[in-house]
Chains A and B, each alone.
Chain A
Amino acid sequence: MKIDWNEKIDAAHECLHKGRLSRRSFVKFLTLAGASIGLVGGPFGRLTRSARAETKSIRFDGWGGTTSEAFRKYAFEPFTKATGIKVVDGEFGDMDTYLTRVKASFPPGGEFNLAHLSGVFDYARYVDLGYATQLDESKIPNLQNVMAAMTAPYRAITDGKLSAVPYDLGQTGIAYNTKHIPKEKADELGAGLLWDKELDKKLGSWGDWRTNIWYGALYTNQNPNDIEDMDAVWDALKAQQGMIKKYWGSGAELMSLLANEEIYATVAWSGRVAHLQEQGHPIGFLAPENCYSWQECIFVLKGTDLRAAEKLLNFMLEPSAAIAVAEGQKYPPSLDPTKVPMPESIQKLPAFDPTGKLEGYLFADPVYWNGHQLEWSEKWDRVKSGA
Chain B
Amino acid sequence: MQKSSWRPWALLAPSLTAVFLLLLVPLCFIVVYSFWLRAPTGADIAAFQLGNYKKFAADFFYPSILLRTIRVAFETVVLCLLMGYIPAYFFYRSKTRHKSVLLLLIMIPFWISFIIRTLSWINILGDTGLINHVLVRVGIISEPLNMLYNEGAVLMGLIQYLLPFMILNVYVSLEGIDKSLLEAARSLGCTEWQAFREVTLPLSLPGVSAGCLLVFVLTSGTYLPPMILGGPRNEMIANLIFKRVIGTLDWPFGSAISVVLLTLLIIIIYTYNRYLGINQIFKSLQ
Contacts and interface: CB of A to CB of B under 8 A. Distances in A.
The answer to A–B direct touch (Cβ < 8 A) is yes
Interface of A: 13, 16, 23, 26, 30, 96-97, 99-100, 103, 125, 128-129, 201, 241, 244-247, 249, 252-253, 256-257, 260-262, 370-371, 373-374, 377-378, 381-382, 384-387
Nearest to A16: B10
Contacts, number: 82
A262 B41 CA distance: 38
Interface residues of B, number: 38
A199 to B, nearest CB: 14
Contact of A385 (B127, B128, B233): B233
**Interface SS majority for chain A:** helix
Contact of A260 (B14, B123, B250): B123
Contacts of A129: 41-43
Contacts of B126: 260, 262
B146 interface: yes
A247 B226 CA distance: 11
Given A252-B119, A260-B123, A381-B243, A247 B232 contact: yes
A371 B42 CA distance: 10
A246 B122 CA distance: 12
A23 B42 contact: no
A257 B123 CA distance: 10
B232 A30 contact: no
A385 B38 CA distance: 24
A374 B38 CA distance: 9
A103 B232 contact: no
B119 to A, nearest CB: 7
B6 interface: yes
A246 B10 CA distance: 53
B278 interface: no
B64 to A, nearest CB: 8
B240 interface: yes
A373 B244 CA distance: 11
Given A16-B10, A246-B149, A260 B128 contact: yes
Contacts of A26: 10, 13
A382 B243 CA distance: 13
B111 interface: no
Contacts of B9: 23
Nearest to A129: B42
8 contacts: A26-B13, A96-B246, A96-B249, A256-B119, A260-B123, A370-B40, A377-B243, A385-B65
B271 interface: no
B215 to A, nearest CB: 25
Closest 9 A/B residue pairs (Cβ): A128-B41, A96-B246, A23-B6, A260-B128, A96-B247, A377-B248, A100-B246, A246-B149, A261-B128
A260 B235 contact: no
A87 B162 CA distance: 40
B231 A261 contact: no
B148 interface: yes
Contact of A245 (B10, B38, B149, B228): B149
A387 B61 contact: yes
